[in-house]
Amino acid sequence: MLELKSLSVGYEKAVIRAADLSIDDGQFSVLIGPNGAGKTTLLKTIAGFLPPLAGKVLIDHRDISAMKGKERAAYVSYLPQMNAASWPFTVREMVYQGLFHKQGLFGKESAEDRAVIEKALELANLTVLSEKKVTEVSGGEFQRVLIARSIAQGARLLLLDEPVNNLDPKWTRLTMDLVRNLTRKGISALVSLHNMSLVSTYADRAVVISNGALLSIAVEQTQNALFMEEIFERIVS
């Protein structure tokens, strides 16, 4: 699904250098590393918002930098760090935005589009909130709205930048459960996290940024949080 080949990312100076990585269809991968290690920069580069300093990002063996925006949106959905909505769209209206790459900003909603939106709302458990303003929902509910928008978009790879940051335990669990359920349906996910217990609970693979390199580690679901903390401390020290 996703391949990084000798990828270097950064702005003027590389924060990650000559990285190789593969993520399969339906794989739940978690990106971990200290603050400033380049997690957000890497996600933005994979999404096509930042050009690589060197190397390539391949989706289904195609260079993402050669794709136009609408084509890229069919493959990848990037959710930046967001904790609140800026505009008073309804939940349904915001989920509908996931279809803009297919029909344009002023495209007419079809019966097929409505079915896609209703399915996305259902998968994210948002049907009962569909007419509520996103400025009035909780932080956890808003994260689910953003993920539902990505579901409607039809992207095969979700890039989530700290989606549970500042969420309480209930909404953290519900958000992570939603992402895991999507990977079980064949969607791939690369999620940046700080909470190591979530890595051991949810991840198939931990992608660790260590001294400008990427280390990919298969995660056994039986590994406990303490064991994962020890791995993390050993790698980033």
> Structure tokens of 120?
């996305």
pLDDT of residue 197: 82
More confident call, 78 vs 100: 78
Of these ranges, 72-81, 134-143, 180-189, 194-203, the one predicted with the greatest mean pLDDT is: 180-189
Q: Name residue 206's amino acid.
A: A
pLDDT at 179: 92
Write out the DSSP string of 30-50.
EEE--TTSSHHHHHHHHHTSS
Q: How many residues does the chain have?
A: 237
pLDDT in tens, 36-49: 889 999 999 999 99
pLDDT of residue 126: 93
Neighbouring residues of 117: CB distance < 8 A, sequence distance ≥ 6: 92, 95, 96, 99, 152
Angle 169-184/139-153 helices, nearest 10 degrees? 10
Whether the pLDDT of residue 199 is over 70: the answer is: yes
Read off the tokens for 89.
Answer: 């769209």
Sign of CA dihedral 7, 77, 134, 180: negative
- Mean pLDDT value across the chain: 87
| Cβ count near 183 (within 10 Å) | 20
List, in sequence order, every residue forming a beta bridge with 9; answer none if it has no partner: 16
CA 67, 70, 73, 79 torsion: positive or negative? positive
CA distances to 115, 206, 230 from 233, in Å? 46, 14, 5
pLDDT for position 128: 94
pLDDT at 5: 95
Pairing of strands 2-10, 14-23: antiparallel
Quote the tokens at residue 104: 């344009």
Residues 6+ apart with CB under 8 A from 172: 140, 164, 195, 198
Looking at residue 219, what is its pLDDT? 83
How much is the average pLDDT of 178-201? 90
Domain holding 201: CATH number?
Answer: 3.40.50.300
Q: Measure the CA–CA gap between 93 and 76, rounded to whole angstroms.
A: 21
Q: How confident is the model at residue 217 (pLDDT cuts 50, 70, 90)?
A: confident
* Number of domains the chain contains: 1
Mean pLDDT for the stretch of residues 2-9: 95
The alpha helices in the chain, defined as continuous H runs, are: 39-47, 69-73, 91-96, 100-103, 111-123, 139-153, 169-184, 196-202, 225-236
Higher pLDDT, 202 or 219: 202
The model's pTM: 0.87
The residue written with tokens 């930048």 in the block is 161
- Residues spanned by the domain of 20: 2-236
